[in-house]
Structure 1
Amino acid sequence: MSRGLVQGLAWSLSTGAAVTLSWWGVHTVMAGTAYDRPRALPITAQNSSTPPEPPRASPAPRTPGPSASPSRTSPSPSPSRKPAPEKPEPPAPEPSPSPEPGNVKGYTVDGGRVVFDIGDAAAELVSATPDAGWQMQVWKQPTWIRVTFTQEGREVSVFCTWNGHPPMVQFDER
């Protein structure tokens, strides 16, 4: 009986250790990757004579109504009681201005494709897609972005930097 208990305890501890180690390994690898949702940017024609429509505001969230289940301990409200005035809703946040047409630039290199939204003083990564068989890694810092594609010892990097100068894109292949 005690032998079975010891074996069950040993199995539980080893399984718990394996699950913990696996979770830690996956968490460590995934923490350094960029899985931000891609931003949808407006597509405008260069020769368009009509200005693009401004973004529509989303409808205000609904306030929950009174509870459907009555409480047995609380007395029913008297007709002379007035309901408490509702708090005014905070104003909706202002939509961010859409980028000027032509600021989104794509770069195709051996290993994949990188798309940046390049502004006057900064840039933002819109998407990075590796080609089949290539692996990709992304680094983001306040003054630069690096996307590196690797395959069988080969490394192709796309850098976008803007530290004290307008954003510029550079390529490095090793």
Structure 2
Amino acid sequence: MRRAMTYVAAWGGATSLAVMLVWFGARPVLHNAVFGPPPARSVVDHVPVSPAAGPSSPPPASPTVRATPKRTVRHASPRPSSVRPTPSPHTDARSYTLTGGQVVLSMTATSARLVSATPAAGYEVRTWHAPGWLRVDFTKDAHTSTLFCTWNGHAPAVQVQEQ
């Protein structure tokens, strides 16, 4: 009798473990298959810029700038939505391909906004933004691909650097 109870306890433990693994392992996959992947989020928050900004200058290098790096979470594809934002008639979406990845910017005559930054295989992406400028870096080992966009009192200007 004792031997039979040992076998039943071992079987119950193995079955419980298998159920837990399937629940926590397959549940997210099945959820995404039924409901779609989570919606893609904007890489940076929209920073409104007043048209009466000061004189044109490159991004400040002083420590008073409050640029915070953010990491991008990459999703397979955005979740379809029934509500689609209507683009402004004066908005121009531009795509830039760098060695480290691809950057998409939404530009107007007086400002720019980062739409997405998709790293190439093996690269990591970091972004910074402040009023009048934004920066996107793709890094892998010692190689860095950088995109700068400035619009402080002038139309957005883009510079790309490969190091």
TM-score using structure 1 length: 0.45
TM-score normalised by the chain length of structure 2: 0.48
- Where relative contact order (Cα < 8 A, 6+ residues apart) is larger, the structure is 2
Instruction: Give the number of the structure whose alpha-carbon radius of gyration is greater.
Output: 1
